[in-house]
Amino acid sequence: MIKKMDITNPVLAESLLSIQIPSYEVEAALIDFYEIPPLKDTVDSLLLCEETFYGYYINDELCGAIAIKAEGSEIDIHRMMVHPNHFRKGIAKKLLHFVENLDGEYSSIIVSTGSKNTPAIHLYTQSGFLETGVIDIEERLSITSFKKILRQG
């Protein structure tokens, strides 16, 4: 079940961190870069992030989450995470599909990930996202951006 999370609730923020840290530790290992911002989050930083979170629950256990900011007609995915204990269950795909079908006049979704994060890149391209660019952050790290048109507008 997917439901909106009140990230200003410290208990929910703590619960989110319990999946965010292990999830992004896996990404850090994949991209061989351990300074990614989600690994530095705290309960306090989550309380102030102003993102809208949706959690994926199995039997009341938070197993995955997606965070977005909607600006105008575009949804910007700020983070996507699945606890490693729940990898390969289709949770990320379900969260992505959920956001694609949010109520509103959204015409596109954008997202970025580490260029070496093959599982995420596969998820986005298989879900109809097109690569829009690559930015070199430093010698060991580049970020690939994607966009999906939901409806012409």
pLDDT value for 139? 87
Domains in the chain: boundaries: 2-149
> According to DSSP H, which parts of 2-145 are helical?
10-31, 43-47, 91-100, 118-126
pLDDT digits (tens, 9 = 90+) for 57-116: 999 999 999 999 998 999 999 999 999 999 999 999 999 999 999 988 899 999 999 999
CATH fold for the domain made of 2-149? Aminopeptidase (3.40.630)
Confidence of residue 153 (pLDDT cuts 50, 70, 90): low
Helix or strand or coil: residue 139? coil
Task: Tell me the average pLDDT of the chain.
Answer: 95
CA–CA separation, 41 and 62 (whole Å): 18
